[in-house]
């Protein structure tokens, strides 16, 4: 009933896990974490037991910062922050730190709404200032990304917020939009569900943030990458622990950081480097997504309705044309070791999240199963 998964046939009973998050991690990362659990590098302590101020954890943190900077080619004028609260907390922390940045203007920000996550983000920002919806695809069912030329950006906005991959509907920006450098605004991107799956053009963005639990590591860690001229604009009501300047100046140790989650993230960064870095994993991600979308488009039994130009490489929702077969599909998939395929309740049907840690073999196994399920459903 269970098959070896996640690219490590030796790990008994591992499944192909299509969860949207928290989601699959590379088996070799988990194996290393297990091996080092009671004594990291022979130091006599678990990483969980180390003082965050000690030299052991200090070396783990420094390596994680350096590897991430290398992987994403983060420019020198950007700071990397390890925070807490996930993207949902950061939805408040972003406006707290940024919406008041334009002296002489009322606090205001533009939001581009492309799905559930950007809806949540703009709702949260309204607590701290004025929100202008620059564009929305809600009327079209969130099946595409609105062209930048049609965005109605404000002259006085502190920033324009995007969710660059919408996990639930499965739409993705395949290019970081360019907004006028002289507009005084700056792009803020919630990249939670596709960070590290592809390069980021930092010349077009001021802030990128992401919850860890898709492509980085365990839930409970939030990554924020912020241009250094954007650190000093926090509203007075910003909690000290969430003030980007203070977090940055303290090397993410103003409060005790989520040390074990940072350690696992560091192991994932090392694993990514062994996959050829972001360029290498992007090639794999393109291949995996293409295989699955090609199959969906060739099938009369399954359907994905997203505009092909905006389809997510990470989250692939699909419907059975006969929705009464949904439960049978999920049950049969589980019996084949293909798990967490149920679609989000807002969309229904199925969703295959094929993040960095999902091997090509997992996508192949899914397609093979889907073909068979179609055959036996005839």
* Positions in 136-195 near a second copy (CB under 8 A): none
- Please pick, among 67, 108, 110, 214, the residue that the annotation labels catalytic: 214
Decide: is 129 part of the binding site for a second copy (CB under 8 A): no
Helix (H) or strand (E) holding 75: none
Give 3-state DSSP helix, strand, coil % of the chain, rounded to 5. Answer: 40, 15, 45
Please indicate whether residue 117 is annotated as part of the active site. Answer: yes
Tell me the closest approach of the beta carbon of residue 36 to a second copy, in angstroms.
9
Tokens of 149: 């030329």
Question: Rounded to the nearest 5°, which phi and psi values hold at 18?
Answer: -100, 20
Q: Cα(87)–Cα(37) distance, rounded to whole angstroms? A: 28
Binding-site member from 173, 242, 244, 271 for a second copy (CB under 8 A): 242
Tell me the closest approach of the beta carbon of residue 117 to a second copy, in angstroms.
12
Size of the site for a second copy (CB under 8 A): 74
Please choose, out of 210-218, 224-232, 302-310, 358-366, the segment that lies near a second copy by the rule CB under 8 A: 210-218
- What residues between 99 and 118 interact with a second copy by CB under 8 A? none
Tell me the closest approach of the beta carbon of residue 361 to a second copy, in angstroms.
15
Please indicate whether residue 342 is annotated as part of the active site. Answer: no
3-state secondary structure of 235: coil
Q: What CA–CA distances, in Å, run from 4 to 66, 121, 150, 359?
A: 33, 38, 48, 12
Which of residues 148 and 250 has its CB atom nearest to a second copy in the complex? Answer: 250
Tokens of 38: 């009671």
Please indicate whether residue 40 is annotated as part of the active site. Answer: no
Tell me the closest approach of the beta carbon of residue 139 to a second copy, in angstroms.
26
Site string for a second copy, 307-346 (x = CB under 8 A): ------------------------------x-xx------
Decide: is 81 part of the binding site for a second copy (CB under 8 A): no
Contact (CB, 8 A) for 226 and 244: yes
DSSP 320: E
Q: Cα(219)–Cα(86) distance, rounded to whole angstroms? A: 7
Decide: is 7 part of the binding site for a second copy (CB under 8 A): no
Parallel/antiparallel/unpaired status of strands 160-163 and 78-83: unpaired
Q: Cα(292)–Cα(354) distance, rounded to whole angstroms? A: 10
- What residues between 46 and 75 interact with a second copy by CB under 8 A? 46, 48-52, 54
Active site members: 117, 190, 214
């Amino acid at each position: 009933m269970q098959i070896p998964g996640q690219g490590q046939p030796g790990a008994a009973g591992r499944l192909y896990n299509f969860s949207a998050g928290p989601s699959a991690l590379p088996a070799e990362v988990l194996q290393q974490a297990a091996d080092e659990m009671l004594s990291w590098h022979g130091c006599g302590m678990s990483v969980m037991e180390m003082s965050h101020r000690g030299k052991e954890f200090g070396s783990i943190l420094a390596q994680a910062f350096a590897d991430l900077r290398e992987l994403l080619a983060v420019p020198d004028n950007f700071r990397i922050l390890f925070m807490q609260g996930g993207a949902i907390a950061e939805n408040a922390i972003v406006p707290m730190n940024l919406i008041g940045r334009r002296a002489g203007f009322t606090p205001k920000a533009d939001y581009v709404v492309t799905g559930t996550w950007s809806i949540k983000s703009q709702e949260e920002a309204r607590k701290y200032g004025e929100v202008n919806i620059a564009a929305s695809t809600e009327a079209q069912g969130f099946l595409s990304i609105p062209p930048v030329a049609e965005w109605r950006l404000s002259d006085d906005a502190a920033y324009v917020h995007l969710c660059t991959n919408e996990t639930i509907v499965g739409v993705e920006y395949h290019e970081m939009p360019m907004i006028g450098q002289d507009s005084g605004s700056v792009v803020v991107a919630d990249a939670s569900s596709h960070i590290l799956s592809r390069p980021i053009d930092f010349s077009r963005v001021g802030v990128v943030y992401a919850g860890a639990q898709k492509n980085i590591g365990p839930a409970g860690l939030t990554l924020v990458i912020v241009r250094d001229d954007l650190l000093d604009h926090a509203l007075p009501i910003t909690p000290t622990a969430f003030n980007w300047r203070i977090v940055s100046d303290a090397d993410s140790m103003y409060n005790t950081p989520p040390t074990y989650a940072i350690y696992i993230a560091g192991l994932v960064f090392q694993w990514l480097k062994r996959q050829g870095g972001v360029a290498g994993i992007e090639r794999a991600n393109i291949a995996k997504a293409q295989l699955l979308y090609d199959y969906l488009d060739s099938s009369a039994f399954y359907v994905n309705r997203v505009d092909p130009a905006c389809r997510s490489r990470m989250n692939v929702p699909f419907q059975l044309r006969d929705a009464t077969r949904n439960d049978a599909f999920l049950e049969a998939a589980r019996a084949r070791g293909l798990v967490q395929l149920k679609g989000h309740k807002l969309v229904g049907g199925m969703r295959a999240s094929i993040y960095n840690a999902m091997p090509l073999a997992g996508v192949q196994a899914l397609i093979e199963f889907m073909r068979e399920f179609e055959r036996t459903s005839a």
